[in-house]
Chain A
């Protein structure tokens, strides 16, 4: 692998995420009753602080990594898979940091969210950082709105997945890990609120993308693979929210639906651009 200026920052950021991951697992480790309970509770709070600070450190290091790469290549993280994954690690980490900080009752979700982040973290490590061609059509300002809205959409879905994972894991031997969290019913309601946020930002992302496409390629919609998959993802998200609101679906089914939407979104945004490169990379 070619060692470029931003790589040490990426490795440092992933190391910080790794510490946060281990601390997150230790923070939900089973608690024991008895005279040591108070001490263990304090220990759990200390571990949660480690998660918070190391997650924040990881986000800061990723910010530096992206800035260094930007300086080196002269463009933002919008084209190569390496930089797209690093950028998602940054935005997902930042969004989850805010959730972890502001919603202490949901901190148990970290044991699901961090492994999901590590799918990206492991993937980015095996990619060549290189630096590719930056299409002229990417200088359009609507790209910022399109990408930014998409990041919030995916991050809201990720928190939904964390909450859905808690509901599902509570049906296994790992249930004790989440005994300090609210009931399944409450978790389910919060999860679907995050999916609502995801739907709004997904819709706005599609609109911003259409405006960009109109200027970049002379058409706002062309039913290419990426556009079609994004639209189907939006339909699936909208339909699942309708289902949840209209019917009393079992909590576990709802949780699987949320995970399914996230997987669909993941495949759409990290898989489809490489089946249909012309749509988002310009045409020579």
Chain B
């Protein structure tokens, strides 16, 4: 059912126009890439603070209070441009192994951030000035760094068609991970 919906989505006039456009698609893609500097960049700076290896004298509350709004702006730009890129080729991305890994790790990164904001950050008034934050905060920072690294790398690799369903034969695990219809195509 998802497949049929995405197939329909990819045939809508706006999707076709976006994919075939000479400048709009590259501009959307470039915005997606440059916004990395804002979104992942500010996230990484806060994570390095949480882990305790950078900005040691800057209270964690300064990051969560003053820098996080910029991270949020970056996220909105990433999400809007990312959804547009997906909309331009929904079926292809849906069956792309790197895209699937990216989405799973993206969700994991989101859960990690949610746990931090609901947990350790609530008591930040008590430990925010510490050079080395408590274990839960350090763990959140480390998981975030690892997760966003995977998201950026797999995100970049989506562009390559090595494991695409229409390039058979593929190993069984690829056909499974990409959700290719067995034997077809």
Partners in one complex: no
Interface residues of A (CB under 8 A from B): none
Interface residues of B (CB under 8 A from A): none
